Amino acid sequence: MQKLLKKRSKKVGQPPGTLIHIGEETAKDASISVIAYRDEQFLEKEAASVEECLTFKNSESVSWINVEGINRPDILEKLGQCFGIHPLALEDIMATDQRPKIDDFGDYLFIVLKMIRYNGNNGGLDMEQVSLVLGRNFVISFQEGREGDVFDPVRERLRTAKGRIRKMGADYLVYALMDSIVDNYFTVLEKLGEAIESIEEKLVIDPTPDTLHLMHELKRDMIFLRKSVWPLREVISSLERGESPLIDKSTAIYMRDIYDHTIQVIDTVETFRDMLAGMLDIYLSSVSNRLNSVMKVLTVIATIFMPLSFFVGLYGMNFKYMPELEWHWGYPTVLVVMAVIAGWMLVLFKRKRWL
């Protein structure tokens, strides 16, 4: 699980637009891939330098430039100069603690959203910031450089010309990328739902401190997921309204579908949060009930032994003239009396339903 707040202290005192990477460092070096298409034309290649991407800026085809790794300020600065990206947008790209948002710079849109995947090995969520720059005929996506992403279905549709993606413009490509990210939220929620069900079973059968730890981990995951999805609703709503000339009316209809999916994700997240809050109450109640049961048993045992301790203490006194001490059947008589008292008290507790 990532930290709630990433360190921004190294940006203190720096002028606006200073390119400083804020986020987790990745061992993977920055790489650039390009996909250009137009109806029957299709090109996919790895760009060795930023200069190779210049030819796609004013091309008639739609170009998708994907940058893996944002810890290289020199690459981002060159791309910004080539495609006219504002320094403040480049600064937001390198700061991976941004909330989902959309900025309209006139001739291009700048969109920030979170790509979330469920980490099945270590548990928890793996969150990565994705920044999109939508121009007239190009889309530039910036990823942090972690292993893999959720865009493989989009790449496959572009390669095989499935659907209408090769016939549409750059705005539809942005829709496809955002739709892949939002659809993956449902996969993450499904995994989290299974984890919650598993914890519920443990909670009923045998609640332990490990169960409480798992609940707190899931609660943190829900906080991260909520922070990523709630602002995204406003981003998609802005695209749906079609206020920018870069978004065609035909594409705005598809944005409405993403908006519906986002609302479903938000509702599910809120439901899971309520369930976790209720499970925490159940855990505390179960622990309290178990403690009460233990205390009840100990109290019953102590109550039974109170009169027995009286007899033991009475005949343990060192007085010389105690007539019972000279009786032949004194010892077995005391044992019988103590056993009768203990049995009578057990029967009484049963009738009172204290046991």
Q: How high is the pLDDT of residue 173?
A: 94
227 pLDDT higher than 90: no
Residue ranges of domains in the chain, CATH in brackets = 20-285 (3.30.460.20), 294-351 (1.20.58)
Per-residue model confidence (pLDDT) at position 132: 95
DSSP-derived 3-state class of residue 31: strand
Are 151 and 180 in contact by the 8 Å Cβ rule? The answer is yes
Q: What is the pLDDT of residue 139?
A: 93
% pLDDT > 70, the chain = 91
**Nearest to residue 177, comparing CAs of 145, 137, 132?**
132
pLDDT at 19 over 70: no
User: Given pLDDT bands bounded at 50, 70 and 90, which one contains residue 1?
Assistant: very low
More confident residue, 202 or 264: 264
Read off the DSSP letter of residue 84.
T
Percent of the residues in the chain that have a pLDDT greater than 90, as a whole number = 26
Q: How far apart are CA 6 and CA 97, in angstroms?
A: 7
Tell me the average pLDDT of the chain: 84
Residue 150: how many CB atoms within 10 A of its CB? Answer: 19
Tell me the Cα Rg of the chain: 34
The H or E element spanning position 310 is helix 249-314
Reported as a pLDDT band with limits 50, 70 and 90, residue 113 is: very high
Chain centroid to CA 3: 12
Q: Which residue has the higher pLDDT, 320 or 114?
A: 114
| Whether residue 149 has pLDDT greater than 50 | yes
Q: Work out whether strand 109-118 and strand 101-104 pair parallel, antiparallel, or are unpaired.
A: antiparallel
Q: Which residue would you say has higher pLDDT here, 354 or 151?
A: 151
**Dihedrals phi, psi of 193, to nearest 5 degrees:** -60, -40
Q: Integer distance in angstroms from the first to the last C-alpha of the chain?
A: 46
Mapped onto helix, strand or coil, the DSSP state of residue 6 is: coil
> How wide is the angle at C-alpha 130 spanned by C-alphas 162 and 169, nearest 5°?
35
Average pLDDT (17-32) is 68
- Residue range 257-265: average pLDDT? 93
pLDDT category, 180, cuts 50, 70, 90? very high
Q: How far apart are CA 333 and CA 342, in angstroms?
A: 14
pLDDT value, residue 349: 82
Q: Tell me the C-alpha to C-alpha distance, in Å, between residue 200 and each of 231, 274, 285.
A: 30, 13, 14
Dump pLDDT digits (tens) for 49-101.
888 888 888 888 999 999 988 888 888 888 888 888 998 999 889 888 888 99
**What integer pLDDT is reported at residue 217 of this predicted model?**
85
Could you identify the residue written with the tokens 């390198």? 94
Task: Assess whether pLDDT exceeds 80 at residue 333.
Answer: yes
Residues 6 or more apart in contact with residue 259 via CB below 8 angstroms = 233, 236, 237, 240
pLDDT level of residue 7 (50, 70, 90 thresholds): low
Please report the pLDDT score of residue 2 as a whole number.
47
- Between 333 and 174, the more confident residue is 174
Instruction: With beta carbons less than 8 A apart as the criterion, state whether 143 and 70 touch.
Output: yes
pLDDT, average across residues 1-19:
56
Distance from C-alpha of 174 to C-alpha of 93, rounded to nearest angstrom: 17
User: At residue 334, does pLDDT exceed 70?
Assistant: yes
Q: What is the pLDDT of residue 121?
A: 56
**Separation between Cα atoms, residue 228 and residue 93, nearest integer Å:** 16
Residue 260 CA neighbour count, 13 Å, CB half: 6
DSSP string, 106-146: SSSEEEEEEEEEE-TTT-SEEEEEEEEEE-SSEEEEEE---
Q: What pLDDT does 293 receive?
A: 80
Burial 214-228 (b: 16+ CB within 10 A, else e): bbebbeebbebbbeb
Q: Give the residue with greater pLDDT, 353 vs 5.
A: 353
- Strands 138-143 and 62-68, sheet pairing: parallel
DSSP 22: B
